[in-house]
Every structure is written in C-alpha cells, then in structure tokens.
Amino acid sequence: MSSIKPFLSSTIGKKVLVAVTGILFCLFLLFHLTNNLIIYTGEENFNFLVNSLEKIKPLIRVLEFALASILIVHISNSVYLTIQSKRSGSVTSLSDTKKPNAPLSSRTMFLTGSILFIFLVVHLSTFWFNFQTTDDHSAYYNMVTNSAIGFGNIFITILYLTAMVILGFHLKHGFSSALQTLGLKDTSLGKVINAVAIVFWLFVPAGFFSIAFWFGILNGGN
C-alpha cells in the first residue's frame, strides 16, 4: 500500500489514472446509450424504463457517486498533467500538444475535454436535474423530445449534436493514448481492444447524435 501512493502521485501514475477512469466512463456511456435508445420504441416504453430506474434509486445514487468520483479523478489528473506539460515544455499530458504533426484529435485533447465538461454541466442542469425533480412520471419522454430543456429547443439540440462530434474526437485519441499508457498498444490484446474501441469512439457518439438529430431536427422537437 505504501508503494501505491508514490506511484499514483507520479506522472506515469496520473496517466494511468486518466486512462483507467476514461475507459470506465466509456463503459458507462455504452450503458447510458443502450438505455437512451429505448426512446425510439415510443413514449410508453421510455417512461416505463425511467420509472423502473426510479424504483432502484438507492442503487442509482451509489452508481452516480461512483461515476462522479471517476470523473473527478479523470478531470483533475488531466488538468494536472496538462499544466505540468506546459510548465516543463515536455509532453506529459495525454495530448501531444508539442508535436505539430500529431493528429488533430491528439493536439486538442484538453480543449475537447474542456468543451465536454461544459456540455456535462448543461446536461446535468437540464435533463438530469429535471428528471429528479418532476412529479409527473409520464413526462420523461416529452421532456426529452419536445420541451424547452430538451430537443424542442434548437439551441439544446445544436449543443448536443456538436458535443457528440467532439466526444468522438476525444474518445478516439483517448483510447489510443490509454493503450499506450497501459503498455498494451503493440500487443495482440491491445490490437483487439483498439479494434473494439470503434464501438466507443464512433458508434456511441453516433447513437447519442442520432437521438438529438431525429427528435430535434427531423421531427422539429415533436
């Protein structure tokens, strides 16, 4: 135990924390998308899903606390690594900001992460907060699809569409960087994980994007 703390305080330890927490959050996004896609099956099914989750609220609260902890560790260590990188003039963060030939997704990791954090705050203050406070348990579907806090608001729709494109860029480099940090990039397992990663950096953002596009653009918030 005494050797763990110095390791986690080191640059490589912090990069490992960023990599592991990033992967854990990706697993949550996949689970979150799976639930959200139920909205395509209609109002009754979506409201039933949300009400079912309400019945296990104590467990949901524990999972939310764990998820918040994961995000705090991920964000705080990412910020620390970026600041240290700028101070030292070396590449210690997960983004290759010092390499002009690096991919765009690599050079903009801190920027895309910052934008996604702002999006997360908006998301929690609209959908999540209102889901927690409403007394109308039949309103969840309409709250998402055609309300002023959902895709009935063109500005919210555009924000979601933009954020999902940015999420794809962020996750694409994030997975590659995580594999390198964990020493798996050039291994057989790493190549398999990298191939599977397309589910997370392409299909997950595309799934969320499709919901915003379908209800906010194609159906005009209806």
CA distances from 49 to 24, 27, 41, 149 (A): 23, 19, 11, 20
Domain limits at 36? 4-95+102-218
Q: Output the pTM of the full model.
A: 0.88
With b for 16 or more beta-carbon neighbours within 10 A and e for fewer, the 141-153 pattern comes to bbbbbbbeebbbb
Render each residue's pLDDT in the chain as its tens digit; 222 residues: 567 888 888 999 999 999 999 999 999 999 999 999 999 999 999 999 999 998 899 999 999 999 999 999 999 999 999 888 777 765 444 555 455 566 776 778 889 999 999 999 999 999 999 998 888 888 999 999 999 999 999 999 999 999 999 999 999 989 888 988 998 888 898 888 888 899 999 999 999 999 999 999 998 755
Q: What is the reported pLDDT for 189?
A: 87
pLDDT computed for residue 138 by the predictor: 86
**Overall number of domains in the chain:** 1
